Structure 1
Amino acid sequence: MRRIILIGCLLITASSFALAQQARISGKVNSLADGDTVLLTTNDVGDPFLSNNISYKATITKKAFSFKIPTGKTPMHLSISYIARNNDDRHATNKLNRLALDNYYLETGDNIFISEDNEKYRFHGSGAGKFSLINALNDLQKKVYTGIKWGDPSETKRYFLKHDTLLLERMRLIRSEKRSLSENVFYLLEADVTGDYLSRVEFINSMLPKSLINTARQNLKGYKSIVPKEILNFRQLDRHDITKLSGNYASGIITRYKFDSCAYVNKPFSIFKSYNFFLQHHSGAIRQRLLLGIIYLDKDSGNDLYPLVNSAIVRIDYPPFKKILNSLKSNRLAGADAYPFNLPDTSGKFHKLGEFKGKVILLDFWFTGCGICLQSAPFLKKIEEHFKEEPFVVITVSLDNKIKVWKETIKSHKYTSENTIDLFTEEKNFNHPIAKYYFIDGCPTFILIDKAGKLMVSPGSPIADNGAKLTSLISKALKE
């Protein structure tokens, strides 16, 4: 009876949320403790555009939480994560990480109650059906990774075949629930799982060293997909404008292009060739997403993106995409104004960009546990030593979500040095204005600023060339 009353109340109030362009997410998570934090994040365009994230926090009381979220005309991407009150408890932290909900869809009028017990979720109320479906789709995906030996090229064909089976199972499940879904969510989910399928080639593109890629290609000989053509119907998906909001779909198309046109035929990737390919071979809303995506993913390469950005601006008319592109041009490309930060160091003293006027600045964005950040540190220390007599400074910007963790890591000097100026984003991590301004969506990210406070060409990772490009750019800036 209590469950019936609960569901009834949720359904009755759903209409009021729809009228107010709102949705409600509440729940009881038994794995949480009072004082833990729930972080709910919405995004109107999806990955990888973290600058569009809007985050809401709530402190757990009696294992419960509740949010009222503004919504719009199209489904919003929704993620829920948890932060343990005691970050020193690794067991608790790992458990909460496993409980995270990622890439769900929230619509106007939703009134969803989430219940959890023993790391199993149940969803109730208006809009809960799509949450249950997405949860089931995610469970199916986990099976693909079971038993696969990562980095082993002889596993390539088996991995591809497992993805074939996964796509068929996921499509079958989505279509069986079509009547219970809005048209927008139905096509978004079909686009999402199609994108995941196309991205299976990342097993070769990114997860294998270059020396093993040819072996993987040989292993694929004789592979024939068991997926019928009517399942992989790109033209059908592309006819629905809503698929432009599927980050997975656009990412999958781009990843597949990099595989077919580069990795598989042993040719280098070219941002300019890929841009022209998508311009010529795609149309409509999805083309806008692809043009934006290919430029965005190349923002740290050091390539001159101005010609492509200027070309894309006149071809993109969807307001959120156009806004991202204009911000990328004004905030991230060479010649843009540096962000006027005001951030604290370990003593609590705040530092502003203006303090370093007349110096060349290297901003190093990192967080505790970032493996590549750790690998980059020795290269940065060498560069710092090389320019120690010059008007040059390395400023590290931590995206840790706990000040205690950050301070402990700073003491170790594993990610920083005794001479770096170490600043903190005050537990706002990727949601801090400086991270959003620079479109920081991963670490490490390096931003080079000249003496006049203007951004320079992206230096890329010092690991790739032993810091040669970064050293050259700094030397050039010091002479100007």
Structure 2
Amino acid sequence: MFNCRIESKILVMQLSLCIFFLMSPCVGKTHQKVASQIPLDNQNAVRTVVSGQITGYADNADVKVTAVIFDSANMLYSAKIPLETTIKGGEFKFELNLKNPVGISLYIDGKGIRRLGIEYVGMYELFEPGDSINMDFSNGLEYNSIKFTGKGSEKFDCIRAIEKDIVLEWPDESPETSLSNAKKALEMGFHTIDLFKNRLPTGTRDLLKADLLSRIEWAALRSVMQQPTASDSIKRAFQEWAGNISGVNDSLVTTAPIYAHYLMRRAIYTRMNEQNLVYEDSNAEPYRLNDNEIYDAISKVYRGSVQDWILARYLIDYRKNLDEARVICIKRYLKRNQRSPFYRQIEYFYNEYKNRLAEGSPAYAFSLRDTTGQVVSLSQFSGQVLLIDFYFNGCGGCYSLVPILKQIEEHYNGKAIKFVSISIDKTISIWKDGIGTYSVPGSVQLYTNGTADRHPVINFYNIYAYPTLVLIDKDGKIVTSRAPDPRDDNGKALMKIIDDKLRL
């Protein structure tokens, strides 16, 4: 059995977009340069094992198992990091040293576990330090057919029970019905978790509740607030509900992998309710609050370590270009939170953007091979706006980005803009196999020649999350190294920036 031993606490992940687990998807890699500058406390880490049996696969180095981990304790690397191993004798194994609960998503040979009949998603589940989970895939890759055994496997029985009772996506329902469904799903889910009080420790049940609450609120946000038919009254009803959900302690933000995202949005809802504002899916400020107002809202609602955690998460996870408002917020944080465990991470993030990746700085002059083996360079796109999509085969977030990115590409057909997809896959066969599924088929397809995340273009843009979009203007200058995610608003914010640059 082949072991993939990970001796670092830099194990992080953003969530895959899936039917049961609706959160913002992004996958990432660490960089040794950053890790060496920001030492992480590795004491008290506990050995955690994730293993499995998969029939039907021969021993082949090209057949990989990818484990993607999200550790909420590390803000700077708040993205997916794929850890890879190969299948030997029908088995695989990952050994991790963990200090905190993490989320883990598995991909088999670039394919996500089938959940509720959908294949594109990666299975994301909660793992705790000391778990030793074995997954038997003998009956296929359908989630409900997987047999979980070992220390900590009881939590998966609870998750299965939850899935039998509730659904977390209501694409054909009205905003009013979706909100009602969300309320019922949360109540039923909490009740199911409580039924496991004799099988699961209190701490594990609390983590599952925090995780479930975050998912249901996010699903409701997409199903209620982002629907064009949603009235102001139903939006206010959602904000009132989402801003006052109880049953989970705020302190779980330090251990529950995705709970900080909900707590941040809860502060925004509270502030908007106080000002009688409603969510607006606009190009500029979807929440109708600017950076400083969101910073103030978080500071007002929370105190102590919870406030620090959520502020750091907001500044890192929800970053945009370093405009004046965002710089003011970062400086406020660095001035008042010098003893924060996240101080050095945010300081590094700020200096990195300010010194090298600011708008108007020269873009990286890449030269990469396309599917025919021809070298394609940045200079060939002179006089054209360039949108670069960084991705890899098996990335759940990349998969979910393709449809909206394809629509944007078609919208600009014939305009002075080119779309480029750069893969960080380790082999040519894996790269080519993912084209059209994890990247837009009509874009220029380029490859980092097996160097994966070690290629200079990845290091230059400090990319640790996938997909990542980089926008370059007609003169080869950086517009933004973190372009707006078009999944958030159907591409409105991204297209506004593109339109502005095309007019120049």
Settle same-fold status: TM greater than 0.5.
yes
Select the residue among 281, 304, 321 that pairs with 2:301: 281
Q: In the TM superposition, what is the alpha-carbon distance from 1:309 to its structure 2 partner?
A: 2.0
Select the residue among 311, 319, 330 that pairs with 1:309: 330
Q: In the TM superposition, what is the alpha-carbon distance from 1:450 to its structure 2 partner?
A: 7.8
Of stretches 440-449 and 162-171 in structure 1, the one that deviates more from structure 2 is 440-449
Give the whole-Å Cα distance in 2 for the aligned partners of 1:311 and 1:66: 44
State the secondary structure of the residue aligned to 1:61: coil
Name the aligned partner's letter for residue 196 of structure 1. Answer: R
Name the aligned partner's letter for residue 210 of structure 2. Answer: A
Residue deviations 1:415-471 (CA, integer Å, cap 9, x gap): 32xxxx542356898998856845575657342368575555866469427945324
Residue deviations 1:216-239 (CA, integer Å, cap 9, x gap): 348879x989x995x34x4xx42x
Give the whole-Å Cα distance in 2 for the aligned partners of 1:47 and 1:141: 29
**Contact between 1:338 and 1:449, CA under 8 Å: does it hold in 2?**
no
Structure 2 residue 123 is matched with structure 1 residue 101: yes
Give the whole-Å Cα distance in 2 for the aligned partners of 1:415 and 1:321: 42
1:73 alignment partner in structure 2: 99
Name the aligned partner's letter for residue 447 of structure 1. Answer: L
Comparing both structures, which one devotes a greater share of its residues to helix? 1
Structure 2 residue 422 is matched with structure 1 residue 397: yes
Q: In the TM superposition, what is the alpha-carbon distance from 1:79 to its structure 2 partner?
A: 2.5
CA shift in 2, pair 1:200/1:472, >3 Å? closer
Select the residue among 385, 406, 417 that pairs with 1:374: 406
Give the whole-Å Cα distance in 1 for the aligned partners of 2:452 and 2:157: 27
Structure 1 segment 209-224 matched on structure 2, within 5 A: 209=228, 211-214=229-232, 216-217=234-235
Select the residue among 73, 82, 90 that pairs with 1:63: 90
Give the whole-Å Cα distance in 1 for the aligned partners of 2:456 and 2:166: 37
- Residue ranges of structure 2 left out of the alignment (5+ in a row): 1-42, 280-287, 391-397
**Contact between 1:38 and 1:82, CA under 8 Å: does it hold in 2?**
yes
Q: In the TM superposition, what is the alpha-carbon distance from 1:396 to its structure 2 partner?
A: 3.8
TM-score normalized by the length of structure 2: 0.66
Structure 2 residue 137 is matched with structure 1 residue 116: yes
Give the whole-Å Cα distance in 2 for the aligned partners of 1:202 and 1:431: 37
Give the whole-Å Cα distance in 1 for the aligned partners of 2:85 and 2:450: 14
Q: In the TM superposition, what is the alpha-carbon distance from 1:78 to its structure 2 partner?
A: 2.6
Select the residue among 371, 375, 397 that pairs with 1:346: 371
Structure 1 segment 124-135 matched on structure 2, within 5 A: 124-125=149-150, 128-129=151-152, 131-134=153-156
Name the aligned partner's letter for residue 23 of structure 1. Answer: T
**Contact between 2:193 and 2:205, CA under 8 Å: does it hold in 1?**
no
Q: In the TM superposition, what is the alpha-carbon distance from 1:50 to its structure 2 partner?
A: 5.9
1:15 alignment partner in structure 2: none
Name the aligned partner's letter for residue 158 of structure 1. Answer: S
Residue deviations 1:212-267 (CA, integer Å, cap 9, x gap): 2336348879x989x995x34x4xx42x6xx3243421111233344454498425
State the secondary structure of the residue aligned to 1:208: coil
CA shift in 2, pair 1:258/1:96, >3 Å? same
Give the whole-Å Cα distance in 2 for the aligned partners of 1:424 and 1:122: 37
Name the aligned partner's letter for residue 256 of structure 1. Answer: R
CA shift in 2, pair 1:321/1:63, >3 Å? farther
Higher Rg: 1
State the secondary structure of the residue aligned to 2:137: strand
Of stretches 45-54 and 193-202 in structure 1, the one that deviates more from structure 2 is 45-54
Q: In the TM superposition, what is the alpha-carbon distance from 1:365 to its structure 2 partner?
A: 0.9
Name the aligned partner's letter for residue 359 of structure 2. Answer: A
CA shift in 2, pair 1:466/1:21, >3 Å? closer
State the secondary structure of the residue aligned to 2:232: helix
**Contact between 2:72 and 2:258, CA under 8 Å: does it hold in 1?**
no
Give the whole-Å Cα distance in 1 for the aligned partners of 2:182 and 2:162: 15
Whose RCO is larger (CA < 8 A, sep 6+)? 2
Give the whole-Å Cα distance in 1 for the aligned partners of 2:304 and 2:157: 31
Give the whole-Å Cα distance in 1 for the aligned partners of 2:499 and 2:453: 27
Q: In the TM superposition, what is the alpha-carbon distance from 1:30 to its structure 2 partner?
A: 4.1
Structure 1 segment 430-449 matched on structure 2, within 5 A: 437-439=461-463, 441=465, 445-448=469-472
Of stretches 72-81 and 278-287 in structure 1, the one that deviates more from structure 2 is 72-81
Select the residue among 399, 407, 423 that pairs with 2:446: 423
State the secondary structure of the residue aligned to 1:212: coil
- Residue ranges of structure 1 left out of the alignment (5+ in a row): 1-17, 386-392
RMSD in angstroms over aligned alpha carbons?
4.8
Q: In the TM superposition, what is the alpha-carbon distance from 1:132 to its structure 2 partner?
A: 2.9
Give the whole-Å Cα distance in 2 for the aligned partners of 1:206 and 1:214: 9
